[in-house]
Amino acid sequence: MPEGTIVITGASSGLGAEMARQFADLGYDLALCARRTERLDGLQAEIAAKHPERQVRTYALDVTDDDAVISTTQQIAADFGGFDRFIVNAGLGKGAPVGKGSHYANRETLETNVIGAFAQAEAAMQHFRERKQGHLVVISSVTAVRGFPSSMTAYAASKAAVASLGEGIRSEMLGKPDLDIDVSVICPGYIRSEMNEKVEQKTKYMVDTVTGVRSMVEAIERRRAKAFVPAKPWEAIARAMQVLPLPAVRKLF
């Protein structure tokens, strides 16, 4: 069974909570972070009941607060004696068409998904550089491949930014043989979660949370540099999106 400690942000619901369950099943200790601590406490109790041998701690964290991200990450390292993997997962899916006067929703998404991700990566990489090893995981999205219209524009742009962030850090680590630090960019397709549970219309290619997260966990465990998950159909769709004209991309969804 794997051993080690994983930090997961945005762990109070959706993909983050299910990743916590599945990584606990695999044998990892967990540091779970989110703004909503009451949900974290419930998740902690659930995992403890199933895996009493696992160490699971919860931390209140707003990833848009840079100082809090740094101090909480340092506290986690002190509590666990270090951590082995940091999953940058916290995010928002709010959005509005650009120019319609609802820029505040787009701004909030960009601040959380981009600036918050940079803060998390900074804190995690400080720890990994000190230890000379670790695994940084950035949760992006298939929407990072091309621009998306309407209420998805800011979200897709934010996920493109974090995908580039992860690849940039990985590129730097390739040039540092003294550091055993892996960086993975995980790009989920449509996985049912709290972020999209209010979407009433049927969405193409949507899978349930457990199935979708299982594919994410498998890619993370394999330390894939970049993975579109579930692989079927999203690897093929992502390749098509890269070369198709924009009107054709719109018809895919």
Strand partners for 137 = 87, 184
According to the model, what pLDDT value does residue 101 have? 87
Where residue 55 falls (left for φ over 0; alpha for ψ -120 to 50; beta otherwise) is beta
Q: Is the pLDDT of residue 232 over 60?
A: yes
* For the chain, percent of residues with pLDDT exceeding 70: 96
For residue 234, give the CATH number of its domain: 3.40.50.720
Could you report the per-residue pLDDT of 79-130, keeping only the tens digit for each? 999 999 999 999 999 999 999 988 999 999 999 999 999 999 999 999 999 9
Strand partners for 207 = 191
Where is average pLDDT lowest: 71-85, 155-169, 193-207, 233-247?
193-207
Could you report the per-residue pLDDT of 38-86, keeping only the tens digit for each? 999 999 999 999 999 999 999 999 999 999 999 999 999 999 999 999 9
Could you report the per-residue pLDDT of 160-187, keeping only the tens digit for each? 999 999 999 999 999 899 999 999 999 9
pLDDT band at 253 (very low <50, low <70, confident <90, very high): confident
DSSP state letters, 22-71: HHHHHT-EEEEEES-HHHHHHHHHHHHHH-TTS-EEEEE--TT-HHHHHH
C-alpha 237: how far from its chain's center? Answer: 20
According to the model, what pLDDT value does residue 202 have? 60
* pTM listed for this prediction: 0.95
CA distance 250 to 253: 6
CA distance 246 to 156: 14
**Total structural domains in the chain?**
1
According to the model, what pLDDT value does residue 195 have? 56
* For the chain, percent of residues with pLDDT exceeding 90: 91
- The domain of 162 spans 5-251
Just list the catalytic residues.
155
